[in-house]
């Protein structure tokens, strides 16, 4: 799998390259700013881009803007955005373009190498990887809507779905039986008025509803 | 050392003598001028009252009376400036002119008339000045004291100026402290934090790579990795406590939303701030909410809280409500005093309504211009 990295700190750029290479990925180019990122993506057409949000010249949201451009121009490139802090408008901007092949993680998560590499694989495979803090923050703003109909446990399950976990992943995280998870997921679909189509599609719709986008 | 004091005293006496002699001249000249004008004015008025012979005389008296009335304040200002520069030249005493000098014309007139009589009295004592250093010093000191209270700005004006100066210097201090926090935040973010992320990442990679090493080696690497991750988390919290980057980048609503999300209890958030306040005021608002929520978690035994930030005109109102057991009293180590201080630093107010049994409502009102 071919990856492009955009990160302005030399130290972290090199570290990320090394970690992803060790993890079995091919880092085709690592660049220090958004302009070069767009150029590199156009040139290499990678499977995934790992993008730092804060990059020169203003050190605010260059990375998000670049990510949105990539999503529109190269929809096949999966995006994993790393941020210094959780900003829900960044996350909703990203997710408004598409709910698949996208990730938004706090930068510190790169220290948890195994989890981080899992997230990279998940996003590259078309899934999502949202930082638990992002999800918590989205939940703060969405307390008044249909989500109120969900029990706390069902909300917890939906939250994990939004983070990009499969049923098996949810079973493992919550330490409950697979049949219990199935039941929660079905209840969520019913309570959110989602039509009975294929499970995967309803899953995406549930997460979309949850994110309010 | 012993030789310096008498010398210093001599210098001071000489300056006082100079001042008294100069004051004698200016006092006599100025006072006589003013007294003359006043006498003419009085005479004109008296003549008018007695009924002058013919309208030409009446007109002349009236013109003189009005002219002098206009002239006197002008002459007074000129004399006051002269006296102030005399005191500066001889004693080095800086007496500021009032901002609205005309309002203090009466006081200044009083000084010049007093100076005339002091001058007349002093003239009799002139031969004594060189031999009576105490006398010269006393005259000088009295002169300076009188000049300060009569020629300078009034008490109200002085206090108003002082308040303005204090308010400005405090605002500067708050802004400087704020800027300093932001600078440290950036430095830490660009320096220590990046390095620590890199270190934790390297240890994480080592942890994955050396899984087949003997147990003690693996344990040592794992412990180092955990420690690095912990340090990273603590540093992030610390940096956030200094100055949250999201506040400068995305504004108050985003920063508060982050606080609400991180709180360990459900927090309902309502932000209605159509026009952003200054960065300093927003930082105060942010830290008030941050500390208030920390308080709720620590003391209130609440199950949920609500944060509202609204702007009405030039006031940013922050309320933090919780459903805990109430009875919060400022000054009992609850951090409520700190909140009040933060609000006061930007001329704001903070009130706490916390009846026993709850709910507790903390309201901060922060003034923000435009």
Contact B126, B143 (CB under 8 A): no
Query: What is the pLDDT at residue A92?
Result: 75
Query: What is the pLDDT at residue B2?
Result: 45
Q: Is the Cβ pair A85, B245 closer than 8 Å? A: yes
Contact B107, B101 (CB under 8 A): no
Does residue B3 surpass a pLDDT of 50? Answer: no
Query: What is the pLDDT at residue A25?
Result: 96
Token pair 């709180």 is found at: B263
CA distance B98 to chain A (A): 49
Measured in residues, chain B has a length of: 370
CA distance A121 to chain B (A): 16
Contact B112, B76 (CB under 8 A): yes
Other Cβ atoms within 10 Å of A195 Cβ, number: 8
- DSSP letter at A84 equals S
Superfamily name with CATH number, domain A2-130:
Response regulator (3.40.50.2300)
Query: What are the structure tokens assigned to B169, written together?
Result: 């210097």
Query: What is the pLDDT at residue B132?
Result: 66
Count of alpha carbons within 13 angstroms of residue B179, beta-carbon side: 6
Cα R_g (chain B), whole angstroms: 36
What lies within 8 Å, CB to CB, of B66 at 6+ separation is: none
pLDDT single digits (tens) A179-203 = 888 888 888 877 776 666 555 566 7
Mean per-residue pLDDT, B45-68: 82
Does residue B61 surpass a pLDDT of 90? Answer: no
Q: Is the Cβ pair A11, B195 closer than 8 Å? A: yes
Question: Which positions in chain B touch A89 (Cβ < 8 Å)?
Answer: 250, 254
Question: Checking DSSP bridges between strand B305-312 and strand B315-322, what pairing results, if any?
Answer: antiparallel
CA distance A145 to chain B (A): 13
Question: Which positions in chain A touch B233 (Cβ < 8 Å)?
Answer: 108
Question: Checking DSSP bridges between strand B360-367 and strand B349-353, what pairing results, if any?
Answer: antiparallel
pLDDT single digits (tens) B174-225 = 888 888 988 998 899 888 999 999 999 999 999 988 888 899 999 999 999 9
Token pair 């934090």 is found at: B193
Distance CA B209, CA B205 (A): 6
What interface predicted TM-score (ipTM) does this complex get?
0.72
Phi-psi region of B119 (alpha: psi -120 to 50; beta: other; left: phi over 0): alpha
Q: Say which CATH topology domain A142-211 has.
A: Arc Repressor Mutant, subunit A (1.10.10)
Helical residues (DSSP H) of chain A, grouped into ranges: 10-22, 34-44, 62-73, 88-97, 113-124, 132-141, 152-163, 167-174, 178-191, 199-211
Phi-psi region of B289 (alpha: psi -120 to 50; beta: other; left: phi over 0): alpha
Sheet holding B360-367, edge to edge: B267-272, B305-312, B315-322, B360-367, B349-353
CA distance A197 to chain B (A): 33
Query: What are the structure tokens assigned to A16, written together?
Result: 């990320």
Residues in A whose CB is inside 8 Å of some CB of B read: 9, 11-12, 15-16, 18-19, 22, 60-61, 84-89, 107-108, 110-114, 133, 136-137, 139-141, 143
pLDDT single digits (tens) A136-154 = 777 665 545 566 677 778 8
Phi-psi region of B129 (alpha: psi -120 to 50; beta: other; left: phi over 0): alpha
Distance CA B190, CA B235 (A): 13
pLDDT single digits (tens) B121-134 = 666 666 775 666 67
pLDDT by 10s per residue, chain A, length 213 = 999 999 999 999 999 999 999 999 999 999 999 999 999 999 999 999 999 998 888 888 899 999 999 998 999 999 999 988 877 777 777 877 777 888 999 998 999 999 999 999 999 998 888 888 877 777 665 545 566 677 778 888 888 888 878 888 889 888 888 888 888 888 887 777 666 655 556 677 677 777 664
Q: Is the Cβ pair B197, A110 closer than 8 Å? A: yes
Query: What are the structure tokens assigned to A123, written together?
Result: 């996003």
What lies within 8 Å, CB to CB, of B326 at 6+ separation is: B300, B354, B355, B356, B357, B358, B359, B360
Long-range contacts (CB closer than 8 Å, 24 or more residues apart) made by B77-81: B77/B101, B77/B102, B77/B105, B77/B108, B79/B26, B79/B30, B79/B33, B79/B34, B79/B108, B79/B112, B80/B108, B80/B111, B80/B112, B80/B151
Contact B327, B354 (CB under 8 A): yes
Query: What is the pLDDT at residue B1?
Result: 43
Nearest residue to B30 via CA among B151, B203, B200: B151
Instruction: Kindly list the domain boundaries of chain A, sorted by start residue.
Output: 2-130, 142-211
Mean pLDDT for chain B overall: 84
């Amino acid at each position: 799998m071919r990856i492009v990295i955009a990160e302005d700190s030399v130290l972290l750029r090199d570290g990320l390259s090394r970690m992803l290479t060790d993890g079995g990925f091919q880092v085709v180019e690592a660049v220090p700013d958004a302009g070069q990122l767009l150029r590199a993506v156009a040139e290499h057409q990678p499977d995934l881009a790992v993008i730092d949000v804060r990059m020169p010249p203003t050190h605010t949201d260059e990375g998000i803007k670049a990510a949105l451009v990539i999503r529109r121009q190269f929809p096949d490139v999966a995006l994993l955005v790393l941020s210094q802090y959780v900003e829900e408008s960044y996350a909703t901007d990203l997710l408004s373009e598409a709910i698949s092949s996208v990730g938004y993680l706090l930068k510190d998560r790169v220290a948890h190498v195994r989890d981080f590499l899992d997230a990279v694989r998940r996003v590259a495979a078309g899934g999502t990887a949202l930082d638990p803090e992002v999800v918590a923050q989205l939940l703060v703003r969405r307390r008044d809507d249909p989500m109120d109909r969900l029990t706390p446990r069902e909300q917890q399950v939906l939250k994990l779905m939004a983070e990009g976990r499969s049923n098996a992943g949810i079973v493992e995280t919550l330490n409950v039986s697979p049949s219990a998870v199935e039941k929660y997921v079905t209840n969520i679909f019913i309570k959110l008025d989602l039509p009975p189509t294929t499970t995967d599609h309803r899953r995406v719709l549930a997460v979309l509803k949850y994110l309010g986008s | 050392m012993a030789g310096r004091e008498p010398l210093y005293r001599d210098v001071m006496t000489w300056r006082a003598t100079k001042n008294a002699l100069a004051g004698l001249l200016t006092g006599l000249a100025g006072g006589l001028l003013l007294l003359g004008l006043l006498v003419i004015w009085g005479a004109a008025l008296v003549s008018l009252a007695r009924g002058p012979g013919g309208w030409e005389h009446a007109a002349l008296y009236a013109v003189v009376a009005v002219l002098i009335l206009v002239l006197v304040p002008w002459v007074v200002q000129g004399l006051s400036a002269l006296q102030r520069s005399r005191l500066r030249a001889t004693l080095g005493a800086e007496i500021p002119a009032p901002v609205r000098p005309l309002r203090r014309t009466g006081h200044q007139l009083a000084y010049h008339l007093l100076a005339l009589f002091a001058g007349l009295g002093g003239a009799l004592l002139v031969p004594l000045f060189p031999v009576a250093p105490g006398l010269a010093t006393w005259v000088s000191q009295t002169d300076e004291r009188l000049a300060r209270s009569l020629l300078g700005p009034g008490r109200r004006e002085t206090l108003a100026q002082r308040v303005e100066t204090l308010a400005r210097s405090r605002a500067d201090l708050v802004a400087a402290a704020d800027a300093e926090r932001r600078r440290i935040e950036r430095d830490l973010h660009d320096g220590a934090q990046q390095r620590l992320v890199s270190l934790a990442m390297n240890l994480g990679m080592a942890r994955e790579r050396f899984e087949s090493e003997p147990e003690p080696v693996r344990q040592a690497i794992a412990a180092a990795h955990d420690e690095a991750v912990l340090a990273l988390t603590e540093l992030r919290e610390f940096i956030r406590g200094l100055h949250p980057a999201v506040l400068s980048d995305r504004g108050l609503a985003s920063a508060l939303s982050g606080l609400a999300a991180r709180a360990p209890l459900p927090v309902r958030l309502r932000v209605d701030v159509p026009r952003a306040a200054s960065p300093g005021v927003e930082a105060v608002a942010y830290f008030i909410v941050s500390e208030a929520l920390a308080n709720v978690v620590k003391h209130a035994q609440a199950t949920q809280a609500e944060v509202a930030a609204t702007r009405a005109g030039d006031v940013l109102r922050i309320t933090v409500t919780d459903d805990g057991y109430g009875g919060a009293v400022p000054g009992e180590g609850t951090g409520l005093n700190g909140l009040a201080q933060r609000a006061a630093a930007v001329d704001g107010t903070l009130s706490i309504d916390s009846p026993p049994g709850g709910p507790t409502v903390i309201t901060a009102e922060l003034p923000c211009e435009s």
